[in-house]
Structure 1
Amino acid sequence: MSRIKIELPAHFHFKTEIPIRVTEINYGGHLGNDSLLSIIQEARVQFLNSIGSTEINFFGVAMIMSDVAVVYKSEGFYGEVLTIEIAVAEISRVGFELLYKVSESKTNREVAFAKTGMISFDYKIRKVVALPIEFKKIFL
C-alpha cells in the first residue's frame, strides 16, 4: 500500500496556536483523528477571518471542502498547544488547496501534515462556481 505524501512549502500565509482540550483525547490517550480535523477547521476559519472572509461568505460565494488528507507524524496530548501553519496552493478555476503544518508549540515536534481541497460553491443554485477574483488577487 502506498503512503500519502504531503509536500509542505517553505513559506506559510498564516499561523495560529490552538490548545488540545481534554474532549479531544481519545481512548488511546492522545489527540483523536476526528479532533485533529476539528482543530484544522478552527485554524482555517481563523485564516479566512484574517483575509476578511468566512466559509459561508467567501467573497460573495461559499466554500466547501472537496477532499482531505492527513499524515500523522506524532501523538498530541492534553495540555499541549499546537501551532498550525497554513499555506494556499494549487489555485485553479474553481478552488485551491490549503496545506497545514501542525506542530507542538514548545518543542516544534511535528504532529501532522494535512491538505484540504476547497471549492467555491453557490448554495442558491447548489453548484460549483468560479473562484472569486478577490481571493486570486491576494494569493496569485
Structure 2
Amino acid sequence: MKSIAYIEDIEKWRESFSFSVPIKIRFSETDMFGHVNNVSPFIYFEEARIEFLKSIGLFEMNSDNAVPVAADLQCDYLHQLFFNDKLDVYVKVNTVGNTSMDVHYMGINQDNRICVTGRGRLVYINPKTGKPVPLDDHVKQNLS
C-alpha cells in the first residue's frame, strides 16, 4: 500500500475508527470508464461527517453561535470503486485545536479492502461574521 502522509501505521489507524455510515455506489457516481468519479469520495466523506457530527450533537443547522465548515479536504485513492459496490465510510476526529478539528476518513468496500482514505480540517465559524469561533469545553468533550 502506498505511503499516506497523515497515517503512520495503517493497521493501527484502521482499528481506531468506530463510527461509519453505509454507502451504495450509484450509477450516477461513475464515469465513462465505469469506476467511481474522483469527486464522489468527497460526497461520501461529507455524508459520513454530517452523520457523525449529528450523532454527537454537534451539527445544528440553526445555530446562531457556531457552525462547522470544511476548510480543507484531501483524498487518497487506493483501489477503484464501481457501480453497486458497497462502501462503509468511517469518520473520526484525529486532533482538536482551538477553533478547529482534523477529521480522518476511511472507505472500506464489501471485500474489506480500504479503497479511499482522507482527512480534512473543520473550522467552527460564527455564521454572521464568518470568523472562527473557539470550541467550548462541551464541544471538546463531545469530540473526545
Same fold (TM over 0.5): yes
Of 85-94 and 58-67, deviating more is 58-67
What letter matches 2:55 in structure 1?
Answer: S
Between the aligned partners of 2:125 and 2:57, the Cα distance in structure 1 is: 18
Deviation at 1:123, TM superposition (A): 1.3
Name the structure 2 match of 1:101.
Answer: 106
Select which of 112, 118, 123 maps to 2:122: 118
Which of 21, 28, 32 is equivalent to 1:27? 32
User: Which residue is 1:6 aligned to?
Assistant: 6
Superposition deviation, residue 53 in structure 1 = 2.8
- 1:119 and 1:100 map into 2 onto residues whose CA distance is 17
Residue pair 1:5, 1:71 contacting (<8 A) in 2 also = no
Q: 2:133 aligns with which of 129, 132, 137?
A: 129
- List aligned pairs for 1:65-76, cutoff 5 A: 65-76=70-81
Q: Over aligned residue pairs, what C-alpha RMSD do you find? A: 2.0
1:12–1:86 CA contact under 8 A, matched in 2: yes
Of 120, 136, 143 in structure 2, the residue corresponding to residue 139 of structure 1 is 143
Q: Which 4+ stretches in 1 moved above 2 angstroms? A: 3-6, 55-60
One-letter amino acid matched to 1:25: T
The aligned residue for residue 17 of structure 1 is 22
Distance 1:58 1:18, change over 3 A: farther
d(CA) in 2 for partners of 1:58 and 1:6? 31
What amino acid maps onto 1:132 in structure 2?
D
Q: Is structure 2 residue 56 aligned with structure 1 residue 51?
A: yes
* Superposition TM-score, scaled by structure 2 size: 0.85
Contact 2:58 2:139 in 1 (8 A): no
How big is the shift at 1:28?
A: 2.2
AA partner of residue 121 (structure 1)? I
- How far 1:133 moved relative to its partner? 2.3
Given that 1:87 and 1:99 are in contact with CA atoms closer than 8 Å, whether structure 2 keeps it comes out as yes
Question: TM-score, normalization: structure 1?
Answer: 0.88
**Which deviates the most, 42-51 or 6-15?**
6-15
Deviations, residues 65-92 of structure 1 (Å, cap 9, x unaligned): 1111111100001001101111111210
Number of aligned pairs? 137
Q: Secondary structure at the match of 2:28?
A: helix
Amino acid corresponding to residue 27 of structure 1 in structure 2: M
